[in-house]
Structure 1
Amino acid sequence: MSKVCLYYFAPHSPWAYLGHERFVALAKAKGAQVDIRPCDLGRVFGASGGLPLAKRAPQRQAYRLTELARWSAFLGVPLNLQPRFFPVSPDAAAKLIIAARLAHGVEAALNLSQAVMRGLWAEERNIGDDDTLAQLANGCELDGKALLAASRTAGVQAEYDRNTDDANAASVFGSPWYIYEGESFWGQDRLDFLERAMSR
């Protein structure tokens, strides 16, 4: 029986974007199932003492850009350090991903997550815009219009809230966050440790 890795993230997180494809490939290679859980990072920060980017000290903001540039170059993953449509509310995108999982399964949701994050961080697309989200879903061979409608339902909102509540209960405080066999790993730069855990 394959093991399950919980995957908490926010779709406007550049760090989730930098790690997403590597994480998906790792889980597949190790035969681990992914439990994809988009969550409200604002609420997570509120519960854990984190600060939104705009409220961080200037030196922290500057170093964040340095690290993003380093990781983008190191991984060969294209990333605009200051994309046109950022900051942006991630809620609509997160709920679209949840709707995709409910309607089409985890793989479709993972593919859509990559398209959304690449759209924001590499393609100058506005993931807070309904038409853009529908186009991104259509590009993943999903029905964007139908998914948008589904993403606005009470059931999807309830799952988004539940994901966030579960993240807070699990002491999550950043994105991406992976939990495997009860062990937490924060950040795409911890994927090597997650791989070791999956190899045990």
Structure 2
Amino acid sequence: MAKVCQYFFAPQSPYAYLGHERFVRLAKQYGVQVEIKPCDLGKIFGVSGGLPLAKRPPQRQAYRLIELKRWSEFLQLPLNLQPKFFPVPGDPAAKLIIAARLAHGTDAALAVTGAIMRAVWAEERNVGDADTLAAIATECGHDGKALVKSSETASVQAEYERHTDEAIAANVFGAPWYVVEGEGFWGQDRLDFVERAFAR
């Protein structure tokens, strides 16, 4: 029986972007089934003591930029440190990912997720905009307009809220967050440990 990894993230998170492709490769390499769970990081911060970027002290904001630059160079992933469309609300993109999973399965949703993350951090695109999201989904081989429409339904909203509640119940307080056999791992810099858990 395949191992399962719950993958909690906010699509606008730079660290989720930095870890996404590597995580997907590892899951495929070890035959791990991914449960993709985009969630509302603002709501999670509200109950876990986290602060949105604008409310963090200046020294934390400055160090964040240093770390993002380091990781971008180390992983050889393009990343605009201060993208044109950021901060950006994550809800519309998260719900598009959920709609993609419901309509086309987890692999399709993971591909759409990667495309959305690249759009924010490497392509200067506004993922808070419905037309941009439709274009991204279309580029991934789907009917983008139909997917955006389905992302706005009550059933997708309910799924988004459920993911967020599950994240809070699992003591998630940041993104990305991976749960393997009940063990949580916070951050793309923990993927070496995630890989060890996959290999166990």
Say which SS state the counterpart of residue 81 (structure 1) adopts: coil
**1:116 Cα deviation after fit:** 0.2
Say which SS state the counterpart of residue 27 (structure 2) adopts: helix
User: What is the identity, as a one-letter code, of the residue corresponding to 1:38?
Assistant: P
1:56-100 per-position Cα deviation (integer Å, ceiling 9, x unaligned)? 000000000000000000000000000000001010000000000
**1:171 Cα deviation after fit:** 0.2
User: What is the identity, as a one-letter code, of the residue corresponding to 1:186?
Assistant: W
In structure 1, the partner of 2:164 is 164
In structure 2, the partner of 1:133 is 133
Query: 1:22-171, aligned counterparts within 5 Å?
Result: 22-171=22-171
Equivalent residues, number: 200
**1:183 Cα deviation after fit:** 0.4
TM-score by length of 1: 1.00
In structure 1, the partner of 2:10 is 10
TM-score by length of 2: 1.00
User: What is the identity, as a one-letter code, of the residue corresponding to 2:140?
Assistant: C
Distance 2:34 2:81 in 1: 28
1:15-62 per-position Cα deviation (integer Å, ceiling 9, x unaligned)? 000000000000000110000000000000001010000000000000
In structure 1, the partner of 2:188 is 188
User: What is the identity, as a one-letter code, of the residue corresponding to 1:136?
Assistant: I
The share of aligned pairs that are identical, in percent, is 71
Distance 2:57 2:20 in 1: 27
Say which SS state the counterpart of residue 102 (structure 1) adopts: helix
Distance 1:173 1:163 in 2: 13
In structure 2, the partner of 1:174 is 174
Q: How large is the RMSD of aligned CA atoms in angstroms?
A: 0.3
1:152-197 per-position Cα deviation (integer Å, ceiling 9, x unaligned)? 0000000000000000000000000000000000000000001011
User: What is the identity, as a one-letter code, of the residue corresponding to 2:19?
Assistant: G
Moved over 4 A (4+): none
Say which SS state the counterpart of residue 36 (structure 1) adopts: strand
User: What is the identity, as a one-letter code, of the residue corresponding to 2:61?
Assistant: Q
* Structure 1: unaligned runs, 5 residues or longer: none
